[in-house]
Homo-oligomer: A and B are copies of this chain.
Amino acid sequence: MDAMMMDYQLTLVHVLERARTIHPNVEVVWRMPDRSLQRYTYGDMHRRSVALAEALQKAGLKEGERVGTLMWNHYAHMEAYFGIPLSGGVLHTLNLRLHPKDLSYIINHAGDRFVIVDDVLLPLWDKVKDLVDVEKVFVVSLTGQPLPGGTTEYEELLSTATGDYAYPDIKENQALGMCYTTGTTGRPKGVVYSHRAMVLHCLGSGLADTLAVSQQDIMVPVVPMFHANAWGIPFTATFFGSKVVHPGPHLDPESLLDLFEKEKVNVTAGVPTIWFGILQAIQKEPDRWNLQPGMRMIVGGAAAPESMIRAFDKHDLRVIHAWGMTETTPLGSVANLKPELLSASEDEQYAYRAKQGVPSPLVDVRAVGDEGEVAWDGESLGELHVRGPWVAGDYFNQPEARGQWTDDGWFRTGDVVAIDEHGYIRIADRTKDLVKSGGEWISSQALENALIGHDAVAEAAVIAVPHPKWQERPLAVVVLAAGSAAESAAGSATESAAGSAALEEELKEMLAEKFASWWVPEAMVFADEIPKTSTGKFQKSKLREQYQDWTWD
């Protein structure tokens, strides 16, 4: 028997209308390229988003057609997040850190009909435009520079709206947006989000036990709006009436810390690379910034080492470790402390907070090894599979990637994990980043997390390098912390070799205390930096290439 509740579709119409009616005076703030701060309210954003929706329809956009956005985090991107889906179109965020060839591939694959581009990103667009077939280009004028021919100013587009607009009849399973994953291997793959998935994902992010996003919050998504929907924050903040503060293109630690202080920010979100920089800046000048005590820093996109969580706690800044993927919208799990762990020792608590956390409500997880699902004992490793209403069920026009889903309908994440009896997931590694030494697995990530805990180490990546006897052995690539004794030593040509050798021994001894002896890398390389992907993750494929001819002693 069917129930008799209202057939109320879960769409962005409700989210934006709620902002208009319940939170019209809450601010949206953004930093311009010239570093000035500008602001308006959700009331303004509502009006302009609706104008954008109407204007796009007037410009000829039809239901389901894609509009690309090549933009930093700011007001116009917020308006695009709502205006494009509420015109019936599909918001396609473009990663401005990609190579023009990859960008053009993605734009062509998605079939973007229009794009909206920041004027400061026109130099990038110039390298892309001849490789793609985009009908109209709208330019957001942030600097006042003259626009190139054949483009339309964004405000001019908005001015075509009459204000007399009725939302189309949007169904919850309709496409709202898409985002391409830029894995380190294979072609980028497009994830197509529904209105339903995004509304549910907002609810998931507002729960007291996950990210607790609230009208009391003032949030900075450092994570770019072209990266997995900025983890949903533009939608979630609008839904719940959190003040949102966008850093624009200024993502250096000092600019961010100035922003946190000035706008009294209490929640922020980004990848670990950002937080390493922030931490160094704070450690260097502990009294310079007056931040909100207990500021929540949501860290995801890559693992946050325990040492980082500890270090921020000393400054009363709370790292909340979370895990997700473009394919999971992205909220997957959050490492809050469960009540049964509140009486655990400090060390134990840190160990749990450094895990990837407990799956969010509405996200099912399992770890699957060679012999099926493994026990939740904190030790047994298996590939993490996930399932839920905001998990992708397919990629856009990519039938060859169907293998990413199991026959019984779960998404294979590619992460190798152990799940413990409390439900915390610990990522041991990406399947492709494990080191297989003499038939046994070594977790490169566990080694990296340990290395990063040493004061002298700023970053560390461990990769598998071919080995004549063991098939593969781990090689550690280490970046020294600025100002560490070892770095000073390395700076002096005559003493550098000795200094590095001494540090290498020290690091190996530290690892030997924590891991089986055969896990400890025989060799370490000290490098100036570790190559990163456009989203700030270690690009291990490049490192492996670089060290493929490594000769073991």
27 contacts between A and B (CB under 8 A): A1-B64, A1-B174, A1-B192, A2-B173, A3-B193, A3-B194, A4-B175, A4-B192, A4-B395, A5-B173, A5-B193, A5-B194, A5-B197, A6-B387, A6-B393, A8-B388, A8-B391, A10-B362, A21-B423, A22-B358, A25-B340, A203-B204, A206-B361, A208-B208, A208-B213, A208-B216, A209-B240
Q: A1-B174, A206-B206, A207-B207 are in contact. List 15 more A-B contacts (CB 8 A).
A: A1-B63, A2-B174, A3-B194, A4-B392, A5-B173, A5-B197, A8-B388, A8-B389, A17-B364, A22-B359, A202-B361, A209-B214, A209-B216, A216-B339, A241-B338
The answer to whether B204 touches A207 (Cβ under 8 A) is no
Interface check A260, CB cutoff 8 A: no
The answer to whether B192 touches A388 (Cβ under 8 A) is no
Which residues of B lie under 8 Å from residue A173 when comparing CB positions?
2-3, 5
Interface check A394, CB cutoff 8 A: yes
Closest Cβ–Cβ distance, residue A412 to chain B (whole Å): 13
Q: Which residue of chain B is the closest to A200 with respect to CB atoms?
A: B203
Which residues of B lie under 8 Å from residue A340 when comparing CB positions?
25
Interface check A35, CB cutoff 8 A: no
Which residues of B lie under 8 Å from residue A63 when comparing CB positions?
1
Measured between alpha carbons, how far is A465 from B364 in the docked complex, in Å? 59
* Residue from B25, B207, B411 in contact with A208 in the complex, judged by beta carbons closer than 8 Å: B207
The answer to whether A390 touches B21 (Cβ under 8 A) is no
Q: A18-29, CB under 8 A of B: which get 1 and which 0?
A: 100110011000
The answer to whether A207 touches B206 (Cβ under 8 A) is yes
Measured between alpha carbons, how far is A509 from B263 in the docked complex, in Å? 49
Measured between alpha carbons, how far is A234 from B396 in the docked complex, in Å? 40
**Which one of A90, A175, A200, A362 has the greatest number of beta carbons of chain B within 10 Å?**
A362
Interface check A7, CB cutoff 8 A: yes
Copies in the complex: 2
Interface check A138, CB cutoff 8 A: no
Within 8 A of B (CB), among A367-417: 376, 387-396, 409, 411
Closest Cβ–Cβ distance, residue A111 to chain B (whole Å): 10
Q: A14-B362, A339-B215, A361-B240 are in contact. Are A4 and B207 (CB under 8 A)?
A: no
Q: Which residue of chain B is the closest to A342 with respect to CB atoms?
A: B216
Closest 3 CB pairs of A and B: A3-B194, A1-B64, A208-B214
Q: A460-504, CB under 8 A of B: which get 1 and which 0?
A: 000000000000000000000000000000000000000000000
Measured between alpha carbons, how far is A11 from B496 in the docked complex, in Å? 63
Interface check A42, CB cutoff 8 A: no
Measured between alpha carbons, how far is A216 from B411 in the docked complex, in Å? 30
Which residues of B lie under 8 Å from residue A7 when comparing CB positions?
393
Q: Which residue of chain B is the closest to A176 with respect to CB atoms?
A: B3
